[in-house]
A = this chain, B = another copy of it.
């Protein structure tokens, strides 16, 4: 069993080793292949996602991706490595769960999953600018919409979820977002046990802010999924606790939702739980080892129950390393 490990930039270097340590604790034979990507890599080699990294990721299938810093200005030749990696590996669904943990920073009662289309929409990178007018293409295809819908409904069926809410803005974008919605409804017919409804993205932002506990699963095009999953992460205790899995047919990328966090990088206080919980998703969904995923999640819960966490979620908080040891100790006791 192989795992391609891409720490990336900033706190990626701090949280990824912790999550990988957790995986090694439950999968003793796991082979690691380290690879580079991100802003530092771009500055050094002129490519944010080197070919060698892509090859290693392809060869392993399972990938652990930390976080990368991306420039806010147009930089010639730079393209977001995680967006590229998602597409190159065919990871068409980005699965972002939010589950209330026993912490005062978490709003209680939330247990939802956002399934985000992961390969198209405004993320295709087709933009032009003539000095006065800039245009970008939002691209939605039948095939990608059907594919991500299929993944969402399959996951709902296997996880015993009852309801999927399709997110769109079809009142303004009847052809693109309408297509996404119609494809989801088409797939839904094969899953009569799952209730399907739909919601405009603006209404969904309001409803998620008012009553996140009223949602079960959400299925969204790429950009809406990006925005809504960050919104919900706020109620789940912040980005320090938000895991995700990018899922495809031949590959999966575990990826904490947080970024490289340059403001706290190097201080040893980054929260590794988002990375650890992403590792659990890799175990459950990609390696099909739900019993191991559960062990990891239970160790996280027991650690939090003992009042141990980093300063972003508990005061006074402990260091990344301290929290990591606490989780691994509990894992070994289980």
Contact B178 A206 (CB under 8 A): no
| The residue from B73, B179, B205 contacting A205, defined by CB atoms under 8 A apart | B205
Q: Per-residue 0/1 for A232-245: is the Cβ within 8 Å of any B Cβ (1 yes, 0 no)?
A: 11110011000000
Contact B134 A137 (CB under 8 A): no
Q: Closest CB-CB distance, A110 to chain B, in whole Å? A: 12
Contact A230 B210 (CB under 8 A): no
Q: Per-residue 0/1 for A256-271: is the Cβ within 8 Å of any B Cβ (1 yes, 0 no)?
A: 0000000000000000
Contact B176 A127 (CB under 8 A): yes
Question: Who on chain B is nearest to A72 by CB?
Answer: B170
Q: Closest CB-CB distance, A196 to chain B, in whole Å? A: 14
Q: Closest CB-CB distance, A8 to chain B, in whole Å? A: 14
- Interface positions, chain A 209-266, Cβ under 8 Å from B, are 209-210, 223-224, 226-235, 238-239
Given the complex, which residues of B lie within 8 Å of A231, measured CB to CB? 205-206, 208-209, 231
- For residue A192, CB closer than 8 A to chain B, the reply is no
Q: Closest CB-CB distance, A96 to chain B, in whole Å? A: 11
Q: Closest CB-CB distance, A283 to chain B, in whole Å? A: 27
Contact A227 B198 (CB under 8 A): no
- For residue A56, CB closer than 8 A to chain B, the reply is no
Contact B179 A206 (CB under 8 A): no
Using a CB–CB distance below 8 Å, which chain A residues touch chain B? 70-75, 80, 83, 122-123, 125, 127-129, 131-143, 169-176, 178-179, 181, 198, 201-203, 205-210, 223-224, 226-235, 238-239
Instruction: List 20 contacting pairs A-B, 8 Å CB cutoff, sorted by A.
Output: A75-B174, A122-B138, A122-B169, A125-B172, A132-B141, A132-B143, A133-B140, A134-B176, A169-B223, A169-B226, A201-B227, A202-B226, A202-B227, A205-B205, A205-B230, A206-B230, A206-B238, A209-B232, A224-B227, A231-B231
Sorted nearest first, the 3 A-B pairs with minimum C-beta distance are A209-B234, A74-B174, A205-B231
